Amino acid sequence: MKRVVTYDGYIINGFRFHTKKRQRNRKTQYSGVVVRGDEESGEKNFYGILEEVIVLEYGALKNRTSPKVVLFKCKWFDVFSDGKGIKKDNLEAVLINVTRRLRTNESFALASQIEQVFYVTAHNDTDWRYVIKANPRNFFDFPNNEDTHESESLWDHVAPPVTNYENENDEDINIVRDDVENEVVYANINQGDDFINEDEEEEEEEEEEEEEELSNMESTLQALNDDLEDNDDDSDSSSE
Of the two residues 51 and 143, the one the predictor is more confident about is 51
CA dist 18 and 53 (Å) reads 9
Domain boundaries, the chain: 5-133, 189-239
Q: Are the beta carbons of 78 and 47 closer than 8 angstroms?
A: no
Secondary structure tally for the chain: helices H, strands E: 2, 13
Whether residue 179 is predicted with pLDDT greater than 70 in this model: the reply is yes
- What share of the chain has pLDDT > 90, as a percent? 30
Q: For the whole model, what pTM was predicted?
A: 0.54
Whether residue 44 is predicted with pLDDT greater than 80 in this model: the reply is yes
Whether residue 45 is predicted with pLDDT greater than 80 in this model: the reply is yes
Q: 3-class SS at 239?
A: helix
Whether residue 232 is predicted with pLDDT greater than 90 in this model: the reply is no
pLDDT score of 222? 83
pLDDT score of 169? 53
pLDDT score of 199? 61
